[in-house]
Amino acid sequence: MRRAINAGVAISRGEYLMRTDEHATFGKGYDRILTSQMEDNWIVTPRRYFLDVVKWEVMDIPPIDHMKLKIVGMGNGVQKFSGVEAPADDKQPIQESMAMQGSCWVMKRSWWDKIIGELQNEGYGPHYQDSHEMVFKTWKAGGKLMVNKNTWHAHKHRDFPRTHNNGTKENPSNNEVCWDYSLSVWRDYYEKEIKPKWSR
């Protein structure tokens, strides 16, 4: 996935970049809303609902508007960065967030070129943790991750079967080595600068 995103960016010619999963649907006019209500140094994700991929309908489940980034235990002493749902500020239609799922995001192409550069495949593995890598790079450069609640996307609910074999025995790319690598790169920055900032 990471190499596919890099390849897509390399041939893109637009002012904005958007990445989304194939099992998602969107609110009317979402692209104009997201791009017209963002700053040059933002990564923006829309409000996230859940999608019934059989009926192709938005499910009657409250949306995800805000996430905290935490280091969570996976058992046997294994840890990883993970976005965890957290209470949102209902008074803010556009709100800063610590984490996102990664199923839909938009940013200026100029921000990608200047700050993100490319998604690193070595260490992280080919699939997950792309959102963490981008958000850490963005914070380091003085940017923000924002959730725009003026529009939405609906992403496949986890009750439905996966559409890829990542993380399976045949393709074990989501593993402890990848999680450990991300922690080795970003843990100190997260513990010393990000957590204190967000605890205020």
Helix (H, G, I), strand (E, B) or coil at 190: helix
- The answer to the question of residue 167 being in a domain is no
In a domain, 39, yes or no: yes
Query: 3-state DSSP call for residue 164?
Result: coil
How many of the other CB atoms lie within 10 Å of CB of 49? 20
Neighbouring-strand partners of residue 153: 26, 48
Kindly report the CATH number assigned to the domain that includes residue 91: 3.90.550.10
Confirm whether 168 is domain-assigned: no
Range of 152's domain? 2-159+176-199
The reported pLDDT for the residue numbered 165 is 59
Q: pLDDT value at position 170?
A: 58
Q: Which residues contact 196 (CB under 8 A, 6 or more apart)?
A: none
- Hey, which residues does 81 pair with through a beta bridge? 71
Give the pairing of strands 24-26 and 42-52: unpaired
- d(CA 59, CA 48) in angstroms, rounded, equals 11
Mean pLDDT, 10 residues at a time, over the chain (200 residues)?
A: 94 96 94 97 98 94 96 91 94 97 95 97 86 97 98 88 61 72 96 92
In a domain, 153, yes or no: yes
pLDDT of residue 95: 97
Predicted pLDDT of residue 113? 97
Among 182, 147, 178, 156, smallest CA distance to 71 is for 182
Predicted local confidence at residue 159, as pLDDT: 75
Number of domains the chain is built from: 1
Is 49 among the domain residues? yes
In a domain, 84, yes or no: yes
Residue 132 domain flag: yes
Strand partners, 104: 20
Q: Is residue 169 domain-resident?
A: no
CA-based nearest residue to 100, from 74, 142, 138:
138
